[in-house]
Amino acid sequence: MKLNPKIYKKLTAEPFDKQVVDGKNIEFHYMNDTPFLLQYASRGRFAVWTSDGQDYKVLIEKAYYEALQDFYQFGVNKIWLNFLERISTVSSKVNRWFIIPTIILYIVVAGIAYRFFPQYTLQILLGLIVLVVISNIFQSRLVNKKVKQENIDAQDKIRTLIGIEDFDQLVKAQEEHYQAYFKFEEEPLENTPIEDTSNEDIMYDENQVDGDKNDSQ
């Protein structure tokens, strides 16, 4: 499954850490060394997983990684990669269940309407469009439900691997990092030098599919 492929391609510098998990390469890059820091950290996203469909690169804010390094150990990443692979399979399977039958139904009904009921073609096509929209909504909800459950299962496995006490300590460290980071952001402007950022080119890419695990990974 591809995750933020545009960002993946732009992470060409030497990573500060590498792992090989189940034959897949994972590179870790500090967000602070890229143009993406403002885009993500300012919205409280300190870690972003990216993939070209085979290997992975993790974009992560430096202080966040230092505070929560145990969340990125080999065993945890193995669980997390398994989660990503599973939701990719679930998404593809559900899409096949809905998209292919919907397309076939649309073509068949549209063909019948054109041939046998030309005076009602517009109404029939509008009805099909409504059916497609309803199908997409149901499909999206089903995928989200399954992803949420997979996410809960993955977090339970990580909690078991790390240990409940250490897991809770990491969650606490995560919250402390959030508070410290945004407290810094909210310091009075008169004490902070004003920089001219009018010519900065902030690259944009759509967010990845993320569940609750984004808060810890």
Question: What are the C-alpha distances in Å from 46 to residues 41, 59, 194?
Answer: 5, 8, 24
Tens-digit pLDDT string for the chain (217 aa): 788 999 999 999 999 999 999 999 999 999 999 999 999 998 999 999 999 989 999 999 999 999 999 999 999 999 999 998 888 888 788 777 878 888 888 888 888 888 888 888 888 888 888 888 888 888 888 888 988 999 999 999 999 999 999 999 999 999 999 999 987 544 443 443 333 323 333 222 333 334 344 444 6
How far is residue 160's CA from residue 79's CA, in Å, rounded to a whole number? 11
Assess if residue 32 is contained within a domain: no
Cα 144 to Cα 60: distance, rounded to the nearest angstrom: 25
The pairing of beta strand 24-30 with beta strand 56-60: parallel
Residue 124 lies in a domain: yes
Residue 104 covered by a domain:
yes
Q: What is the count of structural domains for the chain? A: 1
| Residue 208 included in any domain | no
141 domain-assigned: yes
Measured CA to CA, the distance from residue 62 to residue 157 in angstroms comes to 25
pTM to 2 decimals? Answer: 0.69
Does residue 199 sit within a domain?
A: no
Nearest to 45 by CA among 29, 59, 27, 33: 59
φ/ψ region of 132 (left if φ > 0, alpha if ψ in -120 to 50, else beta) reads alpha
Q: Which domain holds residue 78?
A: 73-162
Is position 47 within any domain? no
- Does the residue 149 lie in any domain? yes
